[in-house]
C-alpha cells in the first residue's frame, strides 16, 4: 500500500497522469491500476493541474533581517511553492540562526550565503572589503551542506560603494575554493559596469534581475543584446528573473524574449513588503506575467521546476519521475482579464492567472486558502 495516490492530475501539457508516493518519494507515474491502495487517495478528475513542486530560486525569508524579511512558509507553501532559496539575506554572522529557524518550516528552505559576513544588515554590505572573509565563508558552507547551496554577490553601486568589481573577483575565488557552488550575481545600477561583471562569469553562474530596466541592463539602447551577455550565455551563464520591487521591466523582458533570450529561471525576489503591497505578490503572480510577454504554460512551469532544480543542483527535485522527491504544486489556470504591473509602474493586460491550490511536500498535502475552497479537494 502506498502512502498517497493522486489520480487524473492534469499536467502543463494537458496529459492526465496518476502518481504514487511512498516515504516522501515518487514511486510510480503513469496509469495506475484501479485496485491500487493508499493511505490517502486524491482524485483530481482532470480538474486540477499538477507539476513538480515550484522552486522559487530568489526570495528573502530571514525574519530577523532588518531590511528584507519574511516568513519561509508565507512565501513558500502558503503560496503553493514547495522550495525557496533565500538569496543572500544572511552571511556568516547570522546563518546559524537562519538555519535553525528553517528547520521548523513546512517549506523546503535553502540559502545562497552572502559573501559579506553581515548579510543584508545594511544596503551596502560589500562596501567594506574586510567583511569578505573566505575562511569563515568556507566554514559555514562546510557546516551546512544541503542547506547552503550557493553564494550571493550583489554587484550594484549602492552595495559595493567604491570597491567596483573587486567583490565579484573575491566571490569567484570563494567559489573556486568551495567546489564551484552556484554563484548568483545581482545586477543593478553601475558602477561596476555590466560588461565587466558578465566577463567574469562562468558556466552555471546566475545573473539575477536579468530583465531590469536600469541603464546597466542586458539590452543596448538600440534594443540588441549586449555582446558581453552574448558571450556569457555561450559560456553557460544562466538568466534569472528576480522580479523584486525595482528589478523587472515589461519592455525589457518583451524585447529580450523576442530576441530569443528566455529566462532559465523565474523567481520572485519576494519579501513581506512587495508580497503584500506588490508588485510581486507571489511567485504565481510573477509566473503569470510571462504569459503576456511570450511564454507558454509548459515553458513557465519548466522555469520553476526542472530548470531551477538543475541550476541549484537540487538533484532530487524538479521532475515527476520515480525516485524524485514527492514535491508537487497543484494549481488552476484561470481565464479572464488580468492587469499586471512591473517594477516601474507599467501595466500589461493578460488573460491567464496561475492560482496555487496546494503544495505537496514529501507527500504531505498543504492546502492554500484557495485550495481549501476548491471543489476538487472535497474528499
The pLDDT tens digits of the residues spanning 15-59 come to 999 999 999 999 999 999 999 999 999 999 999 999 999 999 999
When the pLDDT of each residue in the chain is averaged and rounded to a whole number, the result is 97
Give me the mean pLDDT over the 195-214 stretch. Answer: 98
Domain shared by 103 and 248, yes or no? yes
Instruction: Give the model's pLDDT for residue 377.
Output: 64
The answer to whether residues 200 and 326 belong to one domain is no
The C-alpha cell that represents 258 in the structure block: 523576442
Cα separation, 84 vs 355, in Å, equals 18
Predicted pLDDT of residue 373: 85
Which backbone phi and psi does 288 adopt, to 5 degrees? -65, -30
Residue 223 lies in a domain: yes
What CATH number does the domain containing 32 carry? 2.30.40.10
Which long-range contacts does 101-105 make (Cβ < 8 Å, 24+ apart)?
A: 101/63, 101/72, 102/72, 102/147, 105/72, 105/73, 105/76
Please indicate if the annotation marks 269 as binding a ligand. Answer: yes
Residue 379: pLDDT band with limits 50, 70, 90: very low
Final residue of a structural domain among 264, 280, 312? 312
- Rounded Cα distance between 137 and 118, Å, is 11
Range of the domain at 219: 53-312
Predicted pLDDT of residue 106? 98
**CA pair distance 242, 210, nearest whole angstrom:** 7
374 pLDDT tier (thresholds 50, 70, 90): confident
Name the grid cell of 192: 561596476
Exposure string for 310-343, b = 16+ CB within 10 A, e = fewer: bbbebeebbbbeeebbbbbbbbbeeeeebebbbb
Helix (H) or strand (E) segment spanning residue 287: helix 283-289
Report if pTM > 0.85: yes
Whether residues 209 and 346 share a domain: the answer is no
Same-domain check for residues 137 and 246:
yes
CB–CB of 285/294 below 8 Å?
no
**What are the two backbone dihedrals, phi and then psi, of residue 233, each rounded to the nearest 5 degrees?**
-65, -40
- Give the count of domains, the chain: 2
Is 264 a member of any domain? yes
Q: Does 317 fall in a domain? A: no
Q: Is 140 helix (H, G, I), strand (E, B) or coil?
A: helix
Whether 265 and 129 map to the same domain: the answer is yes
Annotated ligand binding at 152? The verdict is yes
Give the CATH number of the domain where residue 81 resides. 3.20.20.140
Question: Is residue 300 included in any domain, yes or no?
Answer: yes
Give dist(CA 60, CA 74) in Å, integer: 11
pLDDT at residue 376 is higher than 70: no
Residue 186 known to bind ligand? yes
Tens of pLDDT, residue by residue over 291-304, are 999 999 999 999 99
374 is in an annotated binding site: no
C-alpha 242: how far from chain center: 8
31 and 62 belong to one structural domain = no
* Listed residue (242, 275, 273) closest to 75, CA to CA: 275
Q: Are residues 115 and 34 in the same domain?
A: no
Whether residue 209 is annotated as binding a ligand: the answer is yes
Average pLDDT value for residue range 337-352: 97
> Known binder of ligand: residue 234?
no
Amino acid at each position: 500500500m502506498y502512502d498517497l495516490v493522486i489520480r487524473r492530475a492534469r499536467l502543463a501539457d494537458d496529459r492526465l497522469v496518476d502518481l504514487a508516493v511512498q516515504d516522501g518519494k515518487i514511486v510510480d507515474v503513469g496509469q495506475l491500476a484501479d485496485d491500487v491502495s493508499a493511505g490517502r487517495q486524491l482524485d483530481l478528475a482532470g480538474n486540477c493541474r499538477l507539476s513538480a513542486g515550484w522552486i522559487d530560486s530568489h526570495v528573502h525569508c530571514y525574519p530577523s533581517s532588518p531590511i528584507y524579511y519574511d516568513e519561509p512558509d508565507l512565501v513558500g507553501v502558503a503560496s503553493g511553492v514547495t522550495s525557496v532559496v533565500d538569496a543572500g539575506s544572511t552571511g556568516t554572522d547570522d546563518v546559524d540562526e537562519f538555519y535553525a529557524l528553517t528547520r521548523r518550516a513546512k517549506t523546503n528552505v535553502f540559502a545562497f550565503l552572502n559573501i559579506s559576513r553581515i548579510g543584508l544588515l545594511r544596503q551596502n554590505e560589500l562596501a567594506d572589503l574586510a567583511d569578505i572573509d573566505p575562511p569563515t565563508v568556507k566554514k559555514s558552507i562546510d557546516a551546512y551542506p544541503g542547506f547552503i547551496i550557493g553564494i550571493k554577490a550583489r554587484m550594484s553601486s549602492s552595495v559595493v560603494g567604491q570597491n567596483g568589481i573587486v567583490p565579484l573577483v573575491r566571490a569567484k575565488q570563494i567559489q573556486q575554493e568551495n567546489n564551484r557552488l552556484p554563484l548568483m550575481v545581482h545586477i543593478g545600477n553601475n558602477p561596476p559596469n555590466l560588461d565587466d561583471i558578465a566577463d567574469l562569469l562562468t558556466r552555471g553562474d546566475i545573473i539575477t534581475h536579468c530583465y531590469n530596466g536600469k541603464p546597466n541592463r542586458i539590452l543596448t539602447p538600440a534594443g540588441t543584446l549586449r555582446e558581453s551577455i552574448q558571450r556569457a550565455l555561450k559560456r553557460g551563464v544562466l538568466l534569472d528573473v528576480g522580479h523584486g520591487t525595482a528589478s523587472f521591466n515589461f519592455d525589457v523582458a518583451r524585447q529580450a524574449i523576442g530576441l530569443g533570450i528566455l529566462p532559465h529561471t523565474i523567481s520572485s525576489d519576494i519579501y513581506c513588503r512587495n508580497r503584500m503591497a506588490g508588485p510581486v505578490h507571489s511567485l504565481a503572480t510573477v509566473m503569470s506575467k510571462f504569459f503576456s510577454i511570450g511564454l507558454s504554460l509548459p515553458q513557465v512551469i519548466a522555469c520553476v521546476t526542472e530548470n531551477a532544480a538543475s541550476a541549484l543542483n537540487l538533484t532530487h527535485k524538479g521532475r515527476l519521475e520515480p525516485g524524485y522527491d514527492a514535491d508537487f504544486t497543484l494549481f488552476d489556470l484561470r481565464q479572464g482579464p488580468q492587469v499586471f504591473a512591473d517594477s516601474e509602474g507599467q501595466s500589461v493586460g493578460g488573460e491567464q492567472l496561475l492560482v496555487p491550490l496546494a503544495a505537496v511536500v514529501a507527500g504531505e498535502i498543504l492546502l492554500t486558502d484557495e485550495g481549501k475552497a476548491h471543489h476538487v479537494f472535497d474528499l
